[in-house]
Amino acid sequence: MTDPRTPAEYLPDDLVQCVTCAVEYDARDLPPLCPICADERQYLPPDGVQRWMRPAEFTGRIDLVEREPDLFGLVVRADDGQDVGIDQQAKIVRTAHGTVMVDVPAAITAEAVSALRELGPMRAIVPSHPHMFGPASAWSRALGDVDVWVAAADEGRLGRRPDALRLWEGRVTLVPGVTAWQPGGHFPGSAVVHWPGADGRGVLLAGDTIAVNPDRRTVAFMRSYPNRIPLSAAVVERIAADVGTVEFDRLYSNFEPRIAAGAREAVASSARRHAAWVRGVHDGFTGGSSSTPAAPERIGPATPLRIVHLVADLAAAETFWVGGVGLDVRYRKAARPSVHGAGGADRTDGEPALLMVGPAGATWHLELVEAGHPPDGARPGGTDDGSVVLYLGADPDPRWLARIEAHGGRRVDAHVDYWRRWGVTVEAPSGHRLVLSTRRWDA
């Protein structure tokens, strides 16, 4: 920036913030309570007293911390007794075309403004959702009237409209290589930002759309994180499918924890786990009367189902079902040879190697059994009348099909006209068939 502004220019007297959430408001038209905090997704102070402050009153500091090459966090460190905001950590992406701020710090200081200027020209400020609006208009003015991208669906949550406000929907390119879109969930316009990263493996900046859990291996999807209000299974599955259309290895949410590797699969498996729990799949593990249910008179939607495939090559089967189709490994057991004592005494029958695969949290799985020890009368390989059918409700993604074929799958003609019309049939190396149906199954 060639004409830096002073704090007096970007911190006008009519700019105030809610102390609890740090969202900015116009001092000339203050509501009795901060609408952001009064909403069920946030919270008012325990004493119920609404407190406001002017950004210029902040006396702490903001540290610019490198999280990985070309990605920085803005960490607000308030003085004792001067907490502001919810400890959110804005992220700064640096590219050859300028920088992008994803989410807004709870405060602003002249030193932090100078530090960002040194990274290069700021091209966009993107609050992922209303909790992250912060003093966005101040940051915009301080950095040269930078566009503040606010989801059109959440426009009504603005306490103060930045001069450089840009309402958006759909998918937008903020600078070349940095893309934002709105999977929704936490708020109707909840957004994520995708950046290839310095290594090209992909980074997803997810705000509160997807939150990193304390274990730093899994994620959560919530309507309210502080008040523990979950999203439905259908919404979580939609979000996971949405972000799964791009490649990313790391994931950052609003705060300091991140998933440092394998983030795309972590999102997918966490979504399956969430969906299973909120649908009641695991109610039997929760104690009370549900832990000792009466014997069912018929199978139900939560009845565990195992489909056994006898395979000649277990490694090839794993490559197809795990590497290609994308199922999770649920259990693995190595083969155990038969042992015969002298004269036939102390006989121990051998056991085949096996692998159980299926979506994490689901009530069904495939058991892939090495065919060296098939049950009596059984044979390895598929049959003309047996297939595993996945009801997708849409054409399978060509990239998914290509991955399946790259991992040993082979597209074949279906055995019956119905599946020729309503799906794509793929044969596994074992001869078993997988139908990717374009129909829905809502029974």
Please report the beta strands in 148-230, taking only residues with DSSP state E, as ranges in sequence order: 148-151, 165-168, 171-175, 178-181, 192-195, 203-205, 211-212, 219-220, 222-224, 229-230
Model pTM above 0.85: no
Domain 305-334+351-437 bears CATH identifier 3.10.180.10: yes
Average pLDDT over residues 300-325: 83
When comparing pLDDT for 297 and 372, which is higher? 372
**What is the rounded average pLDDT for all residues in the chain?**
86
pLDDT of residue 199: 95
Domain 7-278 bears CATH identifier 3.30.470.10: no
How far apart CA 407 and CA 10 sit, in angstroms, is 56
Q: What residues does 389 pair with on adjacent strands? A: 435
Could you report the per-residue pLDDT of 383-398, keeping only the tens digit for each?
444 578 887 878 888 8
Could you report the per-residue pLDDT of 325-357, keeping only the tens digit for each?
999 888 888 887 766 555 555 555 567 888 989
Q: Which long-range contacts (CB under 8 A, 24 or more apart) does 407-413 make?
A: 407/319, 407/320, 407/323, 407/324, 408/316, 408/319, 408/320, 408/324, 409/320, 409/324, 409/325, 409/434
Average pLDDT over residues 9-31: 90
Interaxial angle between packed helices 233-243 and 263-278, expressed in degrees from 0 to 180 and rounded to the nearest 10: 170
Average pLDDT over residues 165-187: 96
Could you report the per-residue pLDDT of 147-163, keeping only the tens digit for each?
999 999 999 999 999 99
Query: What are the sequence ranges of the domains in the chain?
Result: 7-278, 305-334+351-437
3-state secondary structure of 355: strand
Which stretch, 54-58, 82-86, 207-211, 370-374, has highest mean pLDDT?
207-211
